[in-house]
Amino acid sequence: MAKSTGKKKTNATVDPAEDAGTPVAAQSVNAVETISRFSDFDIHLFRQGKHFKLYEKLGSHVMEVNGVVGTYFAVWAPNATYLSVIGNFNGWNHGSHSLAPRWDSSGIWEGWIPNVGVGEVYKYYIISQNGQHLEKSDPFALWCEVAPRTASIVWDTWYEWNDAEWMKIRKEKNKLNAPISVYEVHLGSWQRDPSNPERHLTYKEIAESLVPYVKEMGFTHVELMPIMEHPYAPSWGYQITGYFSCSSRMGTPQELMYLVDQLHQAGIGVYMDWVPSHFPGDAHGLFRFDGTALYEHEDPRKGYHPDWKSYIFNYGRNEVRSFLISNAVFWLDRYHSDGLRVDAVASMLYLDYSRKHGEWIPNEFGGRENLEAISLLREMNVAVYTEFPDIQTIAEESTAFPGVSRPVFVGGLGFGMKWMMGWMNDTLKYFEKDPAFRKWHQDQLTFSLVYAFSENFMLPFSHDEVVYGKKSLINKMPGDEWQRFANLRLMFTYMYTHPGTKLMFMGGEFGQTSEWNFQQSLDWHLLEHAPHKGIRECVIALNKLYKEEPALFDYSFSHDGFEWIDTQDRENSVLVYARKSTDPARNLIIALNLTPVPRKAYRVGVASEGTWQEIFNSDAAQFGGSGIINYEPVTAEAHQWHGKAQSLILDLPPLGAVVLRKEPPKRK
């Protein structure tokens, strides 16, 4: 129970007859108690940019004071001249429940209002220094009205979690030398209500079908595209107004927690998209919150994003740094997220990102790097890994900025992983080519290994690749129907056997034919057709292979785990490579035949004698392939090839990949 100060405050109130609600001195209609949740140390940390649990202080918090249940409100608005809470409880009266500014010049307004509890709808009414009258949603609101309505809702994040077993083993499931296969999901369009396709399923309803599906597919993690509150659905959640609120389109915070809880109980990790790069200019949101550029940078050369017509956080302002890092901590703390995928990192790192000459301001050393954003990202990573050492942060970063996934103490940004955007672009460009011409472009597949170990890379086939006229993955593939499906199975096998962790956007796993549409469900009916069933079965088998073969994850980010055997057979468009385990007996050989011509009796060099067994073939009949399989174990013979003392004779299927593992020697 919070202690009362024992004093009532005489509030300024607004006479409706006064011009536009200008406050006049009067006794408030319903007194606001001047209590505080802030200590002097809290204020010190906040002003230094070091308070990383602001959600425990700012926002709305139901509290009992002297036996009466009410809600404490606190909001940062240093340039406001008047601030009140408005809502259904007071008829949206601008003058009846004004908050008091703290005495310490922190810019925080606060107060406790009796008889206001969970479920109350509210906003902040603000009069700015230049006389603007603003109605703003709470930046720290835990829940919001369903768009297009914009008010905040008094709520809490109490939930009885049942994922203790997962939290105990999360360190093992989330470590960098574990198999990490991520299913990227947009919850609003993964599946809709079959009886009413316009209706979003609730988080709880989604859990009933998503959890068993992901488990059956064999993915180790899901990545949820932004589930924070956003007013504009076509932004897919990337233009956020409620950073501490889950999207009310699909239910309550507790229902989202239920979804995470169910995934955890099924042994599936949950990464969440996080967007500290920009926010929209909606009137009720963060934009010019107290009539000034409070959260964004005042100068549009640093504070306005030309690509997205949105606003860039002022990373040099300490209070904004506390807001952002607290938000990262919040989703890991209150929602048990196992990691954060940080969106648009490149746009944060460079002052000239998407800007022409003269449209940006160099840093203090004359360079193009945004030193304040770099500092924020480093501090965020240190903060979250200190508090939650068994999570992962993953950067969507598309440039050659050095050390994105290297520790802060050696000069890196401190992320756990980075999306390998170059690999994704090169791979898709290669596979889009007619196989007849691939022999002249083999370097597009081999080039990634030049830099594959410069970062801890995650290989993504993400949502960005299947929208805006780019075609679905299956329709990027050349050839007739059989060849398109064979190409897709081959490309997925290449991804799963290439160094790095994996990410696949929903729909790709069964060969969705249309581009992704955020307004409708995936085309689940396609699974009635054999080619789509085959792709799905292939992905299930690849996830199983990935998790069972340590050569595919022991050295995900190290040269020690990879060796080219042959990159020179351009004429046949064949690539051969080895993946290596900490146990040499578990090493694998992978051969890719990137044309529709079967390669019979194809010779592959191996280092030592022994027998090899094919353990995966993307051309298997159950996947929809032609069934050219190496059924029998293949024994190496003393025939030098590819610079190796021994070699194998294999049949390589058309547009297919084979994976072989050495059999242990037979006991005598």
Catalytic residues, which ones? Answer: 343, 396
Angle between helices 40-48 and 318-333 in degrees, nearest 10: 110
Phi, psi of 560 (to 5 degrees): -65, -15
For 464, residues 6+ apart whose C-beta sits below 8 A from its C-beta are none
The residue to which tokens 């940019």 are assigned: 49
The 3-state secondary structure of 368-410, one letter per residue: CECHHHHHHHHHHHHHHHHHCCCCEEEECCCCCCCCCCCCHHH
Reduce the DSSP state of residue 348 to 3 states and report it.
helix
Question: Going by C-beta distance under 8 Å and a sequence separation of 6 or more, which residues neighbour residue 33?
Answer: 4, 5, 8, 9, 65, 70, 111, 112, 113, 114
Residue 459: beta bridge partners? 502
Neighbours of 130 (CB within 10 A): 9
**At 333, which helix (H) or strand (E)?**
helix 318-333
Distance in angstroms (rounded) separating the CA atoms of residues 374 and 372? 5
Angle CA 423–426–432, to nearest 5: 135
H, E, C per residue of 51-99: CCCHHHCCEEEEEEECCEEEEEEEEECCCEEEEEEEEHHHCCCCCCCEC
Q: And the tokens for 580?
A: 């290596």
d(CA 527, CA 539): 14
Per the CB < 8 A criterion, the answer to whether 46 and 320 are in contact is no
Give the list of residues 6+ apart from residue 467 with CB closer than 8 angstroms, or none. 515, 516
Tell me phi and psi for residue 320, to 5 degrees.
-70, -35
Cα angle value 384/386/391 (rounded, 5°)? 55
Contact 99, 111 (CB under 8 A): yes
What would the two tokens of residue 244 be? 């501490």
Rounded CA-CA distance 347/364 in Å is: 19
- Residues recorded for the chain: 668
Three-class secondary structure assignment of 508-574: HHHCCCCCCCCCCCCCHHHHHCHHHHHHHHHHHHHHHHHHHCHHHCCCCCCHHHEEEEECCCCCCCE
Closest of 267, 276, 244 to residue 156, by C-alpha = 244
Residues 261, 162 contacting (CB under 8 angstroms): yes
Residue 462: which of 238, 192, 233, 206 has the closest Cα? 238
Written as one letter, the residue type at 132 is: Q
Are 134 and 291 within 8 A, CB to CB? yes
